[in-house]
Amino acid sequence: MKDLDITFNFYSDTPFGKDPDSYSPTLRKYHQILWSKKLPNGHNLCLTNNKPKILYHKSALGEFFLSSDSIAHTYCKHKSLTHITKNISPEEINSFFSLCSTIGAYIVFPSNRVGGKMTINGYRGLNQFIKDRFDLTLECIKLFYKKEKNPMGEVFKRYEKFFLLFENFKAYVEFFLLQDLVTSDYSSIKYFLPFEEFRKNPLPASIEEYTQYKKNLISFVNSRNNRILKNINNKNNQ
């Protein structure tokens, strides 16, 4: 197990104007190191990175094409929030964006299109009740494991084989080191903003809401970075 730098900004090795999810070699390597490990069923998820932009696995478990996805969005370039973000200093926004460019702010999802339909990554960005918020995405994943209706149920169903690798919600959370975004009994999500049952626009509606969102997201990314570092150190010491 190799060392990971939890402060590394993936934009630093990404070509200008490109997305680290697709173009950062360090991000793809970090994902490979972190998620190539034993699954709840005892089998190993061994990921290779010799295919452009994706991580790949093929075994008796099935064939999986995985790609990186950001789970921490500042919305600083979101036009509908310009009237809010313009009131926050550039230094504060830049610091927020830099933190959201470290490994604690990324995860992997299946990247192959099923039946020519949208992937999880694309769907959660466009869904009016999610708009790329990962706390709400995780709520949908929790409901999916409980076989309950949710705004992303249709797209999750297309990738059911991927979610079955982890057997249940608790195991999914533990595999991807997301414990800092759930309560201790795994029954609820620690939302970045108060949850209103997918009934309203999920984006911050005021500078007060944006400040709360930013504070909670920063706390999560910092905590997950530290959890990732501890996980790597524990494996290195085994």
- Residue 225 has what pLDDT? 98
How far apart CA 124 and CA 128 sit, in angstroms, is: 8
- Low-confidence stretches of the chain (pLDDT < 50) are 1
DSSP string, 174-235: HHTT-GGGB-TTSSSB--SS---TT-S--S--SHHHHHHHHHHHHHHHHHHHHHHHHHHHHH
pLDDT 10s digits, 65-119: 999 999 999 999 899 999 999 999 999 999 999 999 999 999 999 999 999 999 9
Helix 207-236 and helix 90-99, axial crossing angle in degrees, nearest 10: 30
pLDDT of residue 237: 76
At 1 the pLDDT is 46
